[in-house]
Chains A and B, each alone.
Chain A
Amino acid sequence: MLEFRLVQGSLLKKVMEAIKDLVTDANFECSSTGFSLQAMDSSHVALVALLLRSEGFEHYRCDRNLSMGMNLNNMSKMLKCAGNDDIITIKADDGGDIVTFMFESPSQDKISDFEMKLMDISSEQLGIPESEYQSIVRMPAAEFQRICKDLSSIGDTVIISVTKEGVKFSTRGDIGSANIVCRQNTSVDKPEEATVIEMKEPVSLTFALRYMNSFTKATPLSNSVSLSMSSDLPLVVEYKIADMGYLRFYLAPKIEDEEEQS
């Protein structure tokens, strides 16, 4: 059986809100080290990878590796019933086909049990190798969200270019064009407000803004976001989840030349 108790229940609610529009069904993988999920959107352009390490839970028990198939919209519906300060416990039995979400109010005067049916989901898992990225940009998450939102009112795609000078987001549409440059800025009061650019090589890639906007729904999870880019790899947009893990989005770039697919 498995049982996890998460004091910061709102965290799980935020994770669901961030990913439920991108993927409909997903398998949650549970092992002794943590709770994880990998799922692609239906067109296989974007991928969500979530990791919540066991250390971050107040109580974590997982006897053997298990995979739980859930419809994310349904899971989100259930988690919406939890209060923001509630403690959430997830429970499931080895042989069963349901998962239980238990919500406890902070003062312990209200306890709710929600049971959800599990699903059999045959999803393809991709092996994502650890890579060195040519450029990594870390910036305030709210700033990134604002940029994506602003640019998508002008165009459909964004070109992200990292140079020594900074990171440039540009787009072009029927009504005109837009360029936003963010320079490195570390002289701020709080470290999460900094913009840090680690560049080994300059890189410039094009992405669909539709997906970027969807990723920024994870903004409530973290004050800062990091964008990792290499010319031959998908973009990684990472939101760190304090003390527990991360929520990462991978996005395949747009390419100019027609590639041969078999």
Chain B
Amino acid sequence: MGIKGLTKLLADNAPNGMKEHTFESYFGRKIAIDASMSIYQFLIVVGRTGSEMLTNEAGEITSHLQGMFSRTIRLLEAGIKPLYVFDGKPPDLKKEELAKRLSKRVGATEDLAQAIETGDKADIEKYSKRTVKVTRQHNEDCKRLLRLMGVPVIEAPSEAEAECASLCKNGNVYAVASEDMDSLTFGAPRFLRHLMDPSSKKVPVMEFEIGKILEELDLTMDQFIDLGILCGCDYCESIKGIGGQTALKLIRQHGSIENILENINKERYVIPENWPYQDARCLFKEPLVSPLEDLPEVKWASPDEEGLSTFLVKENGFNQDRVTKAIEKIKAAKNKSSQARLESFFKPVVTTATPIKRKLYTAC
């Protein structure tokens, strides 16, 4: 998923483009969240032991609702304004990747059945993780839940990451939150990872700034996209034998995939036949997103208490007390007056003093 090995490549080559921040420091910020990615994580993490998942009385899975409900409340309590973006129709280029994932899942399902038979716990854990799939129903459930909570939902025409990136570029949101590094190749100016991790993990939010990354890598956005394609993305194969470091070296040396193909040793590296890298590049550069003028006004409204109660308690077997308490939390979070930031009063300036020594010091 996403771009292979990009996080490490950036950590090694553009450490100043990524910075850790505390979860709390994003108060008051509007953040576009890649919903499908979050739902997938919830299905894997929330309340699952082996192949057993959280379910309601009818036996339908509710992990995604539990996860979405509690994590969204956590965001709201921190004063963050989440805006969830759901995937639309996948681009044609992704079909191959999706087919691959499907066949992997089928394989894993068989392995899981076998593991259950032999009772190997480690294997059950391993394969049940791999069989997790986000269905249309999961998505619809979450949309309904979010709307009841008063949290805005946007349905992307195609890829959610692309839509998030476009919202961020346009200044509708402060940043994009996903675990998928694709967001960067889609050009999200500010991209956050680990925002949706459970608080118990205590992982700081990792913030990537594409401007700083490009500056430090000394690449243009087009070259960065080419780098992403070479590393391996969801939309086409990559060249065997070329990993992140080599890809970066080649891009720096030749400037574009076209030039690399002309100069590369074709004996050593096998270029995939009919390699659709140009289509992939096109998809990153001009993805299908909602036209900006058509964007509905996003609003964070009061929760629909009765609706939530009906949906979560009656239909999905949630504990009434817990839901009532959670609704109180949402309401309390809404009533809190918001904290202003100093930047709204004072403007940044450039300092003139020279540092004693420009020394790279990275915490990570």
Interface flags, A107-128, vs B, CB<8A=1, else 0: 0000000000011111011111
Let me know if A261 and B346 touch, CB within 8 A: no
| Chain A contact residues, majority secondary structure | loop
Looking at the complex, which of A51-59, A78-86, A90-98, A215-223 is the stretch in contact with chain B?
A90-98
- CB-CB contacts below 8 Å: A181-237 with B: 206, 208, 232-234
Q: Judge whether B351 and A95 touch: CB under 8 Å.
A: no
**Looking across the interface, which residue of chain B has its beta carbon closest to that of A206?**
B337
Judge if B16 is at the interface, Cβ distance under 8 Å: yes
Q: Which residue of B lies closest to A128 (CB)?
A: B346
Cβ contact within 8 Å between B346 and A126: yes
- The residue in chain B whose Cβ has the minimal distance to the Cβ of A92 is B356
Distance in Å: Cβ of A185 to nearest Cβ of chain B: 31
Check A44–B341 contact: CB distance below 8 A.
Answer: yes
Stretch at the interface among B18-26, B106-114, B314-322: B18-26
Flag the segment in B27-35, B64-72, B178-186, B323-331 that touches A: B27-35
Nearest B-chain residue to A258, judged by Cβ? B338
In the complex, the answer to whether A120 meets B358 with C-beta atoms within 8 Å is yes
Shortest Cβ distance from residue B194 to the other chain A in the assembled complex, whole angstroms: 16
Contact B342 A234 (CB under 8 A): yes
Contacts of A252 in B (CB 8 A): 339-342, 344-345
Query: Which residues of chain A are near B343, meaning CB under 8 Å?
Result: 44, 126
B58 interface hit (Cβ, 8 Å): no
The yes or no answer to B349 lying at the interface (CB within 8 A) is yes
| A93 and B356 alpha carbons, distance in the complex (Å) | 8
Interface residues of B in 1-59 (CB under 8 A from A): 16, 21-22, 24-25, 27-30
The answer on a CB contact under 8 Å between A67 and B356 is yes
- Evaluate whether A119 and B339 lie within 8 angstroms (CB atoms) in the complex, with A92-B356, A96-B356, A128-B346 already known: no
Contact of A255 with B342 at beta-carbon distance under 8 Å, contacts A67-B354, A125-B351 already known: no
Chain B residues with CB under 8 A of A125: 348-351
Contact string against B for A residues 226-262, beta-carbon threshold 8 Å, 1 for contact and 0 otherwise: 0000001110000000000000001011111011011
When C-beta atoms are compared, the residue in chain B nearest to A251 turns out to be B342
3 nearest CB pairs, A to B? A126-B346, A127-B349, A252-B340
29 inter-chain pairs at a CB distance below 8 angstroms, sorted by A residue, are A42-B25, A43-B339, A43-B341, A45-B341, A65-B353, A66-B353, A67-B353, A69-B355, A69-B361, A92-B356, A96-B356, A97-B357, A119-B361, A120-B355, A120-B358, A125-B351, A126-B349, A127-B346, A233-B345, A234-B342, A234-B346, A252-B340, A252-B345, A254-B337, A254-B340, A259-B344, A261-B29, A261-B174, A261-B344
Interface positions of A (Cβ within 8 A of B):
27, 29-31, 40, 42-47, 64-69, 92-97, 118-122, 124-129, 157, 206, 208, 232-234, 250, 252-256, 258-259, 261-262
